[in-house]
């Protein structure tokens, strides 16, 4: 019995592509081999506790942490002493938002954020509402950008914190954080940005952009999971959310994850050195995928800003198909639906709905996340598979 292969599958065979293809780099990234190489000695050879100051094992660990702190600070234009290590962006967001709320409550109880923020921000704000804080959730325009006039109207004399993400994790929309932060600075309001998706992908400068607090996540930039950082501008006081030992200037107690911190530092150094070239290459791959799909299919729409977007992000809605069927059919490609999956069904993405996209189209959306290790051959294969699959599903109706 003969086996019938689709054109895309024949292409994969002819080009020796390894399947499945990973195109979900907004969810997580593979650890860069250069990062892993630098981490390995700190698991077994230099395994000391960075807080142990009485012997060479502790000194070696502390020296590695100090070097990593400097590398991270250099990438975002900060000072090393302004970097606080955490377990990831979720913890950094919690520390920033709850830490400001507790420390500055005597000055006000109003916080401003956007409806398209990551759940780490939204749920932190929801928690604070239970303790008497007022939170304004800004709507966004159809392209996903915050309306600056609406932002200005939301400000009042009790506003103590504004938290707007640098780049959205679903649509890749890059916000005008410099404009927002400048307006906060003029009024003496603290500005925080969740930059988990943006750090290492686009240029960021906490000094030039007037950023007071910035969250970083290791596993979004080719470092390991379980490590992150929070930039805290000198002079900003945060109430600690984890007590015990007074590590990290008293803001985040707990024994430091030295191998992870070493990896994060190395990953930031790699991003700093190669960001312009890497962004250009990844943008070209993203545009190639986008154009191939749009040239071959009708009923496809691009979600998010076309002009202000992360290099590797492509979020598209496909009319006339069911989201679950589409994901199931694309079983040799790792992509995201842009939705929160439950055991029973796929809920429409709250981010896409905030852009005015219908539930039906939101459920039939795909988020492609192109990263450092993707190739042109992989992009071509993915485009072919998406085109073939959409045509087949629409024919079946």
Report how far residue 278's alpha carbon sits from residue 289's, in angstroms, rounded to the nearest whole number: 17
Residue the block writes with tokens 């932190």: 124
Instruction: Say what percent of the chain tops pLDDT 70.
Output: 94
The average pLDDT across 360-372 equals: 95
The yes or no reply on domain 7-31+275-396 and CATH 3.90.1150.10 is yes
- pLDDT number for residue 358: 94
Report the alpha-carbon distance of residue 257 to residue 226 in Å, rounded.
8
How much is the average pLDDT of 257-271?
A: 98
Distances (CA, A) of 148 to 145, 151, 159, 162, 180: 9, 5, 16, 13, 7
Over 70: is that where the pLDDT of 292 sits?
Answer: yes
What whole-number distance in Å separates Cα of residue 244 and Cα of residue 239?
13
342 pLDDT exceeds 60? no
pLDDT given at position 4: 54
341 classed as catalytic: yes
Q: Mean pLDDT throughout 257-277? A: 97
Q: Do 368 and 315 meet the contact criterion of CB atoms below 8 Å apart? A: yes
Place of tokens 């005015």: 356
Peptide bond into 202 cis (omega under 30): no
User: Does domain 33-271 match CATH 3.30.420.10?
Assistant: no
pLDDT at 319: 95
Mention every residue, 6+ apart, whose C-beta is less than 8 A from residue 127. Answer: 98
Q: Looking at 8-12, 101-105, 307-311, 387-391, which range is the least confident one?
A: 8-12
- The pLDDT tens digits for 218-246 are 999 999 999 999 999 999 999 999 889 88
Verdict on whether the full-model pTM lies above 0.85: yes
Boundaries of every domain in the chain: 7-31+275-396, 33-271
CA distance 129 to 135: 7
The residue whose two tokens read 């950082």 is 229
pLDDT at 337: 85
Question: CA-CA distance, 324 to 345, in Å (whole number)?
Answer: 8
Q: Note the pLDDT tens digit of each residue in 7-57.
A: 666 566 656 799 999 999 999 999 999 999 999 999 999 999 998 989 999
pLDDT given at position 251 = 86
pLDDT, position 248: 85
Residue 102 has pLDDT above 80, yes or no: yes
In this predicted structure, the answer to whether residue 60 has a pLDDT above a threshold of 90 is yes
Average pLDDT over residues 320-329: 89
CA distances from 344 to 187, 339, 340, 341, 359 (A): 47, 13, 11, 8, 16
The one catalytic residue in 125, 184, 271, 341 is 341
């Amino acid at each position: 019995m003969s086996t019938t292969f689709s054109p895309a599958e024949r292409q994969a065979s002819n080009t020796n592509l390894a399947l499945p293809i990973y195109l979900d780099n907004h969810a997580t990234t593979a650890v860069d081999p250069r990062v892993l190489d630098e981490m390995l000695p700190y698991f077994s050879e230099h395994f000391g506790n960075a807080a142990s100051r009485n012997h060479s094992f502790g000194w070696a660990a502390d020296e590695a942490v100090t070097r990593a702190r400097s590398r991270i600070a250099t990438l975002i234009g900060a000072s090393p002493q302004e970097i606080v290590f955490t377990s990831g962006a979720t913890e950094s967001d919690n520390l920033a938002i709850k830490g400001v709320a507790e420390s500055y409550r005597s000055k006000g109880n109003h916080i401003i954020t956007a409806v398209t923020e990551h759940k780490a921000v939204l749920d932190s704000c929801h928690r604070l509402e239970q303790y008497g804080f007022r939170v304004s959730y800004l709507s966004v325009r159809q392209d996903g950008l915050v309306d600056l006039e609406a932002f200005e109207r939301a400000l009042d004399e009790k506003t103590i914190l504004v938290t707007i993400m640098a780049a959205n994790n679903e649509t890749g929309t890059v916000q005008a954080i410099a404009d927002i932060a400048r307006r906060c600075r003029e009024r003496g309001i603290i500005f925080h940005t969740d930059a988990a998706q943006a750090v290492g992908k686009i240029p960021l400068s906490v000094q030039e952009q007037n950023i007071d607090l910035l969250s970083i996540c290791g596993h979004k930039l080719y470092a390991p999971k379980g490590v992150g950082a929070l930039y805290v501008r000198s002079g900003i006081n945060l109430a600690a959310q984890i007590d015990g030992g007074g590590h990290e200037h008293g803001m985040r107690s707990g024994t430091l994850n030295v191998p992870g911190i070493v990896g994060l530092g190395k990953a930031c150094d790699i991003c700093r050195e190669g960001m312009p070239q890497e962004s250009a290459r990844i943008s070209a791959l993203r545009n190639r995928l986008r154009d191939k799909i749009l040239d071959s299919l009708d009923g496809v729409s691009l979600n998010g800003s076309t002009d202000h977007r992360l290099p590797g992000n492509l979020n598209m809605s496909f009319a006339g198909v069911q989201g679950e069927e589409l994901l199931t059919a694309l079983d040799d490609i790792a992509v995201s639906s842009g939705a929160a999956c439950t055991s029973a069904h796929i809920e429409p993405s709250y981010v896409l709905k905030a852009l005015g996209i219908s539930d039906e189209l939101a459920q039939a959306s795909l988020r492609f996340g192109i990263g450092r290790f993707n190739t042109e051959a992989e992009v071509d294969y993915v485009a072919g598979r998406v085109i073939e699959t959409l045509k087949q599903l629409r024919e079946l109706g």
